[in-house]
Amino acid sequence: MIPNGAIQRAFWACAGFTLLSGLVSAAFSLRSLGMSGGHEDALYAASRSIALPLATIVAMVTRSRGGVAAMAATMTFVQFFDAWIGFEMRNPGRAFGPLSFAVLNIVLLLWMRANAPAE
């Protein structure tokens, strides 16, 4: 049996980092939006990036383990694709930063899943 404290720590660590990841992604999208002068593609990218942390907040408020897991997986994919773009651009900062976020999100997601109560 897993102690309730461990279950809670794993949930909030995964949820909190997923939210942080979403906020960082949204901040970069908003920054790009400002740099593009409101270009249509940047507007669409920003709207999607803003939706991700909002959905994470909903999952956190409702204490939905499945919702947090879905958002953690989503943000992991976002960060992996951002890392891939960074590698394609041959920009280490834009590659290894998102890659480290993706790896840490996977680790926290697996920790949360390992500490999930038996159903």
CB 103 within 8 A of CB 83: no
pLDDT tens digits, one per residue of 64-81: 999 999 999 999 999 999
How many angstroms separate the CA atoms of 40 and 106, rounded?
32
The pLDDT mean for the chain works out to 92
Q: What is the pTM (predicted TM-score) of this model? A: 0.90
Spell out where the chain has E strands. none
Who's near 90: CB < 8 A, 6+ residues apart?
none
pLDDT of residue 119: 60
Q: Where are the domains of the chain?
A: 8-114
